[in-house]
Amino acid sequence: MQHRRHQSQSHVFPRRLTTPGGAGAIIVSEPKRGKKRGSYTCGRCGLPKKGHSCYVSITTDTNSPITSTPTHAPDSSVAVSATRPPPTRHFRRALSFDEDVGDVNGGFPEDEDDLDLGDPVADPESGRFPAGCLWEILRRLPPAGLLAAASVCKGWRETAKRLWRAAEELRLRVPARAQVGLVGSVLQKCPGIVRLSLRMESDVDATMLACIAFSCPNLESMEILKSDTAINRITGDELGRFVVDKRCLKSLKMEGCSNLGGFVLCSSSLSTLWLSDLYSLSKTVFNCPNLNEISLEFSCQENDSTDLATMVDGLGRNCPRLQNIHIASVRLSHSVVLALTAAQLRWLRMLSLVLGSEITDASVAAIASSNPNLELLDLSGSSISDSGIGMICNVFPETLSRLLLALCPNITSSGIQFATAQLPLLELMDCGMTICDPNSQNPIPDESSDSELKHFSNTKLHLIHQKLIIKHNRLKKLSLWGCSGLDALYLNCPALNDLNLNSCKNLHPERLLLQCPTLESVHASGCQELLIGTIEHQVSDDFSAMENLLPCKRLADGSKRVRVPHFLSAQSYDDDKKQRRVERRQCNVLVN
């Protein structure tokens, strides 16, 4: 689950709405319609309006790519202490995987409106720049820049004002010393705001909510992110009031919810709700019949008194349209799962219940029987075993495309292999920290020291010297991070883009075979030097590995022969493989 981030478009788990650190913010405008004054010349190009069509696109131009995601704890620290839950933030990825970060510009429709900015400012003599050009420049500035621009001269202030009024989306980073009043003054410039995202570096409380409620009558989507030092003091009552007031609010995402204490949320418009850092919730009521997606992440503090079973029960009963559920809490247990499955949510497609070591194979049975059409199942951190995997493969082969079972100590390589063999639609598989001994911090001794091998108890033998053979036509992302018990890996995956082998420190360089021509990134931090070299060699070998039809492979020293599994000799591809041979993309091997 811990993936090193690399700036590429195809993240394993993109977190779409991360505001880039320190980059200010982005503003999106759409042209004001229907405001034409009788002017002979076009406001933008200065040509006579008659018979010409001006062409202004008012798309957003984000000034920093969404690909800069927050850095997570280095993999090595997680490998060492597998029992301590990893930072919670990344769990959300399982859900956001659905939202592919394709277009950095947010995909806002281009508009070919003949935007007449009215006043004959198009005179090239005075002020040099026609208003249309100015609009194009100003709308690409971050909000701070736009605010400053208003101080330049009256003409600029006017154009800036128009831009604000046309804005529909705003992403602001609120620095540590800023006061609510300043945010308020910005919000009041843009009453048309539909989507708001605030990255708080100062504390936030109900006055901010009130300010937003007052200034943004058309708000549909709100997100409050916070830096590590900021404190979110909003209480459950205050949040509840806000939600009730905002009748068109569809999406609410908030971090740092440790002071909520409990809440009653009533909204018929709300369809997406993400709350993180929750702690000790007393009463929770989700009176949101149109709720489609919910993500509840609990902080990992001790003595969390939340009654998860009751909460989930209420959720199931009041929100029948739920499709995506994500709950992260160490107190997840089988009884919570039963409460959820009892609700028989017929639209449920993505279910993610992570960190609950008391989730068992029985829980899998319950899930499988009540929700047979899951597309995503994430039970990372649970106690399920290979029989649980067996059940998953029994029930979900026709729908399941994403399976995440990281940090599940009771599954073995057979289970993993079984899953890849039985789930034809699988595109993402996360088996991080499974094939390993979580309590062992020492490197596994190599074969030559037989005496040390005897010291390993039988129960742990399945955690070392494991081999994985995976052949899958659709698998795109595979994570085996921290699988220190893995020493051989054969992958034949024509669609694989991303492979995570971080901390696979016992993976033997001579027992690795990658036949994945579309591989774009391999993460190999914490691996042996030789292994990294082998990986680099294999991924840069243009098709030669694939074209090698020999059933056996002779190694450099001539003495050993690696017995290559039978499937590798049958080089027939599926019909849906592209006929055209594309030049192989460069594959990056990422080491840190």
Partner 1 sequence: MANNGENPSPDVGGKTVKLKADDGEIFEVEEAVAMELQTVKSFFDDDGVSYDTVVPLLNVSSTALAKVIQYCRRAVELRAKSGDDEGANEKAREEREGLEAELVREESDEGIKELILAANYLNIKDMLSFLCRAVGDRIKNKSVEYVRRFFVLENDFSPEEEERTRNEVAWAFEGVDAD
DSSP state, residue 446? P
Contact region with partner 1 (CB under 8 A), list: 176-184, 221-229, 415-423, 541-549: 176-184
Comparing CA positions, the residue from 76, 97, 101 lying closest to residue 403 is 97
Contact call for residue 108 and partner 1 (CB under 8 A): no
Q: Cβ distance 202 to 172 under 8 Å?
A: no
Asked if 211 touches partner 1 (CB under 8 A), the answer is: no
Q: DSSP assignment of 197-248, as one string?
A: EEEESS-B-HHHHHHHHHH-TT--EEEEEE-SS--B---HHHHHHHHHH-TT
Q: Are residues 421 and 446 in contact, defined by beta-carbon separation less than 8 angstroms?
A: no
Cα gap 366→198, rounded to integer Å: 40
52 binds partner 1 (CB under 8 A): yes
Residues that contact partner 1, how many (by CB under 8 A) = 49
147 binds partner 1 (CB under 8 A): yes
Decide if residue 286 touches partner 1 (CB under 8 A): no
* Both structure tokens of 34: 């229907």
Q: Least Å distance between CB 207 and partner 1?
A: 17
Between 61 and 313, CB nearer to partner 1? 61
Q: Is 289 in the site for partner 1 (CB under 8 A)?
A: no
Is 483 within 8 Å of 506 (Cβ atoms)? Answer: no
46 in contact with partner 1 (CB under 8 A): yes
Q: Rounded to the nearest whole angstrom, what is the least distance from the CB of residue 227 to partner 1 in the complex?
A: 15
Say if CB 475 and CB 420 are below 8 A apart: yes
Residue 43 makes contact with partner 1 by CB under 8 A? no
**60 — alpha (psi -120 to 50), left (phi > 0) or beta?**
beta
Residue 378 corresponds to which tokens in the numbers above?
Answer: 């994430």
Give the residue with the Cβ less far from partner 1, 108 or 129.
Answer: 129
Q: Which is nearer to partner 1, 41 or 473 (CB)?
A: 41
Dig out the tokens for 355 from the structure.
């960190």
Give the one residue of 70, 87, 120, 145 binding partner 1; rule: CB under 8 A.
145
Cα(first)–Cα(last) distance of the chain, in Å? 16
CB of 51 to partner 1, least distance (A): 6
CB of 191 to partner 1, least distance (A): 17
Between 186 and 340, whose beta carbon lies closer to partner 1?
186
Q: How many other CB atoms are found less than 10 A from the CB of residue 16?
A: 14
Rounded-to-integer distance, Cα 487 and Cα 510, Å: 9
Q: Please give the single-letter amino acid code of residue 457.
A: S
For partner 1, give the closer residue by CB, 181 or 372: 181
Residues 58-97 that bind partner 1 (CB under 8 A): 61, 63
Q: 58 or 486: whose CB is closer to partner 1?
A: 58
* Single residue of 8, 81, 185, 229 touching partner 1 by CB under 8 A: 185
Residues that bind partner 1 (CB under 8 A): 44-47, 51-55, 57, 61, 63, 124, 127-130, 132-133, 136-138, 140-145, 147-157, 175, 177-178, 182, 185-186, 580, 582-583, 585
